[in-house]
Structure formats: C-alpha cells, structure tokens
Amino acid sequence: MARYIFITGGVVSSLGKGLASAALGALLQARGFSVRLRKLDPYLNVDPGTMSPFEHGEVFVTDDGAETDLDLGHYERFTGVAARKTDSVSSGRIYSNVLEKERRGDYLGRTIQVIPHVTNEIKDFLHIGDDEVDFMLCEIGGTVGDIEGLPFFEAIRQFAQEKPRGQCIFMHLTLLPYLAASGELKTKPTQHSVKELRSIGIAPDVLVCRSEHPIPEREREKIGLFCNVRKEAVIAAYDLKSIYEAPLAYHHEGLDQAVLDAFGISPAPRPNLTRWLDVQDRIHNTDGEVNIAIVGKYVQLEDAYKSIKEALTHGGMANRVRVNVDWVNAETFDREDAAPHLEGFHAILVPGGFGERGTEGKIKAAQFARERNIPYLGICLGLQLAVFEAARNVAGVAKAGSEEFDHEAGVMRFEPVVYHLKEWVQGNHKVERKSTDDKGGTMRLGAYTASLAEGSKVAEIYGTTTIEERHRHRYEVDIKYRKQLETCGLHFSGMSPDGRLPEIVEWDDHPWFVGVQFHPELKSKPFAPHPLFADFVRAAVDASRLV
C-alpha cells in the first residue's frame, strides 16, 4: 500500500504547487522509490478538455486518452512516469459520478450528501492503483478555504484518519511576502493559512514557503512555532532561473529529508542526483542561442503552449544552446506579407489549434519556411496547414482547406483536403464517432502507433520505424491527395499501421520541414529530450550559423 503525500496551497494561487509536487516526486525517485502524481481540481468542469486555453492553459493528453490539467505535464516531465486518466479528477467529474450513481439507484433512495457520498467518491478515486507505487503524491488545486475545494479537503482528512498512522502526510505551500519599507518577510499570512487548514482538521507536516528573499533562521523558527511544524520541516522555496533546478534546490533546502522524516523512514536512502546535476549543467553551460518563432493564436497566454515551450527548452539542452522563443500572432499577417514578421528567426513552429482564426497567417508562415529553407515543425493543425500550403501553392489545389473551417462558418468554401473522420482503428479495435457525441468525446485522443517510411528523415531522427505518440484532433488529411503531393515532393513519411491516416509529412529538398499529426511535445523530458525537438533545435542551430 502506497504512502500518501497530500499537497495543498494557501495565501495566494500560482505558488508553484504543481512544480513543488513534481520536484518532490523526482527527489523520491532519486532515493530509489517509485511514485505516481495526481491532481484533484476543485472546478466544476467535468474535464479540462472543453475549457478554453485562454482560461486554463494547455490541455495535457495522456496515453490512455484523457484530457487533463497541464500540471500533469509537469509531473511527467519531472518523473518520466506516464500519467493516466485516473491521475486527474475535478469536482465536476466527482459530482457527475455521484449523480449518475444516484440515477442508477445505487444509493437505494438515500439522501445524497457531500459527506459521505461525495467524499467517498473522492476517496475511492484516491485509492486507485495504491498497490503499485511506494508514494502517491496528490495535489489539491486552488487554495485552502476555496468554497469548491472543501469536499476535497474533507476527503483527504478522512482518508488520512482511516489509514494506519504514518501512512499519509500533508504538505502545505504558502507565500512569505516581503515588505520593502520595513525590509521584513511577513509570516502572518502563512500563520492564517495554516490556521484555516487546521480548522478543517488538517495539520501540515511540511511547510513550503515561497519567498523572494532568504528566510532568516529566526523567521523559520517563528513559523515552526506558530504553525506547529518542526523547524526542519519549514522549507524555503526561492525563485529559480529554470524550473528544472527545482529538484536540486528543494533537495538543498531539505524537502525530501523532511518528507521522509515525517513518515519516519530512517535511515533515509541516499539520493542519486546524477540526472538533475546533468540537467543543471546543461541549463548553465550553453554555447550560443537560437531564436524560434511559435506562430499561433493563443499567444497572449504562454501556458496555452506550455509543453511546446518546455520541449523546445529540452531541445536546447540536448544541443547545449539557449532557445529564445518569440510568440508571433498569426492573425496579424492573415492579409499581409508574413516576411517582415518572420525574418530573422532560425526556425518556425506552428502549434496545434482549433478553428479558422489565424490559419491564413499560419499557412503563410509554412510557405515562408518552405521557400526560404527555414526549419519548420508543424504540430497537429500545424501539419494540416502545411499540407494546405503545399496543395495550394505547389500541387495546384487552389481551394485546399479543412472541413473544420467550413463547419465552423456554415458555408462550403474549401476542397476538403482535411476532413472529419468518423471511424478509425486504435490498436485492434474500431472507434466510431457520431456527430451527436459530447463535445469532449469526438476526438482521436491518446496514444496511437505510427509506421515510419524506411530512409525518411523522421525514421532517421527517431532511430526506429515504429513510434507511439499522443493525439488530440478531430480532422485528418485525406490520403486521396497523397500521390499528388508526393509527386511535388511532400512525402507522407509516417502513416497509421493500416495505412489510412497520415501521421507525418516532410518535404524533400528542404533542410528540415516536418509536420506531425500528433503532439510530440507531450512526451519530452529535460533528461530525455524528444528526438523531434532535439533535431529541430539542431537544425535551428545550423540555420543560425548560415546568417
């Protein structure tokens, strides 16, 4: 049975709870333990799949096809443990399960209440897979005292109470604000936050305090005293140059030791930090830099492309260069020349997206990259747009476009080079979609196998001809255009195993032009950069030497 670490936050949101959880997971692994990380989100949406990226940042997709919170991406990037559907839950999902059971008559007509029905549902969720790992780290979204979060807090309190002593601990993240006028760090908000937590029956074992300034010993003692936490378990979390320094920084502050102490695990196994020392070395010792443009729609909120940004950073680490990312709003050149907006970049990336807005600009970006021999990586929609560009400007299909845009506009204007697929094969079973399915349920989601053409650029990059990557899209390139496009030099170098679904396209006679229908960024890690990103950045380095 796993030991449980519940991670909560207080004082303000966005303190980096997800990062602290992920870093702790990495440190426990470094000490030889197996871990799994989970996120419990208080919002009422049933899943994050239908939430706007403007609202909530990127949707992170798991191998088993769940659309989850972007924190699961952090967890995977730090631990390398592939997240599952059962690692993310929202209040909406919990309530929806409870109501479904009520409708089915499972509760035998009893009155349905938050305690015990909702809390039991949460506890059942927490138990899933508890015999598989040494530590289960469960992060509760939001801050203590939030109205939606209360059932989760109550559930973890009950959960710990029902387990043998020493099986569960609580870690709480707070902020120590700095008052410049008096030159002091203030501990009162932390005291209040812990008081709030204790009022609902949870006493933290470890306190992580975010601070922009060093925490004096005296303040640490005071926090320990007022919050009833051991002084050694008051851990400082300072701002870092890179998030990937977090495991070493937290180790240095004693977080993993404090956690193992709280469980009474003694002597604690010695950590092997080689992986993170290498990552740190690659962050600090770079030779040169490259400028890469991400031409997208949601450029105001960088979190909308979180995993892509991280994967580019990993690609930089693989090549020991700094990657500067510029966010370019494709809509600004929908109707004008793209060149002035894109000149000077060493590579162009067009990410995934939904809807027609900004697509004409992105098609121009693909054209610019093709004609000027600039490395181009198109992801999902970025592949589809590169195909339209090739079809329109090289293969003579003047009206090449996507059914998606016509559906959206309610008029037929395009020749559907990309069309809505209603059924396909996953592994060895058939998947069918109807137009009446839920909004969240109509996509090709999760891990699919692709076969790569021998001798193609991508086969060389991956070093294999069979890959598995994660998908999240409704529309597919129609293979009936394959011959026509390949004659022009755009090769379909990756296909679904049954040969029906194009997975990768690449231009001949171009230094680096690859479009992928899947999301390689979701599987990249700092200690194992994704081969496509590593090679894309390498190509950008080559391009930077030419100018």
Taking alpha carbons only, the member of 288, 318, 293 closest to residue 305 is 293
Exposure of 485 in the CB half-sphere (CA atoms within 13 A): 26
Q: Is 48 exposed, middle or buried (0-12, 13-18, 19+ CB in 10 A)?
A: buried
**Residue 428 CB, nearest distance to ligand GLN (Å)?**
24
Whole-Å CA distances, 41 to 68, 160, 451: 10, 19, 37
Structure tokens at 82: 């592939």
Structure tokens at 467: 């890959």
Segment 464 to 523, residues that bind ligand GLN, using CB under 6 A: 472-475
**31 vs 470, which CB is nearer to ligand GLN?**
470
Please indicate whether residue 360 is annotated as part of the active site. Answer: no
Please indicate whether residue 407 is annotated as part of the active site. Answer: no
CA 39/CA 244 separation, integer angstroms? 20
**8 vs 402, which CB is nearer to ligand GLN?**
402
Taking alpha carbons only, the member of 24, 123, 121 closest to residue 78 is 24
Residue 168, interface with ligand GLN (CB under 6 A)? no
Taking alpha carbons only, the member of 382, 370, 364, 368 closest to residue 509 is 370
Residue 16, interface with ligand GLN (CB under 6 A)? no
Amino acid at 362: K
CA 242/CA 453 separation, integer angstroms? 37
Segment 363 to 382, residues that bind ligand GLN, using CB under 6 A: 380-381
Query: Would you say 352 and 379 are in contact if contact means Cβ atoms under 8 Å apart?
Result: yes
Segment 291 to 320, residues that bind ligand GLN, using CB under 6 A: none
Residue 352, interface with ligand GLN (CB under 6 A)? yes
Q: Which of 227, 380, 403, 510 is catalytic?
A: 380
- How big is the site for ligand GLN, counted in residues (CB under 6 A)? 10
Amino acid at 57: G
Which residue in 95, 238, 263, 354 binds ligand GLN (CB under 6 A)?
Answer: 354
Structure tokens at 218: 């005296």
**226 vs 354, which CB is nearer to ligand GLN?**
354
**Residue 363 CB, nearest distance to ligand GLN (Å)?**
14
Give me the 391-410 binding string for ligand GLN, x by CB under 6 A, dash otherwise: -------------x------
Please indicate whether residue 346 is annotated as part of the active site. Answer: no
| All residues at 6 or more sequence positions from 523 whose CB lies less than 8 Å from its CB, including other chains | 76, 469, 470, 530
**Residue 90 CB, nearest distance to ligand GLN (Å)?**
21
**Residue 312 CB, nearest distance to ligand GLN (Å)?**
17
**Residue 298 CB, nearest distance to ligand GLN (Å)?**
11
**Residue 517 CB, nearest distance to ligand GLN (Å)?**
8
Residue 419, interface with ligand GLN (CB under 6 A)? no
Chain contacts with ligand GLN (rule: CB under 6 A): 352-354, 380-381, 404, 472-475
Name the residues annotated as catalytic: 380, 519, 521
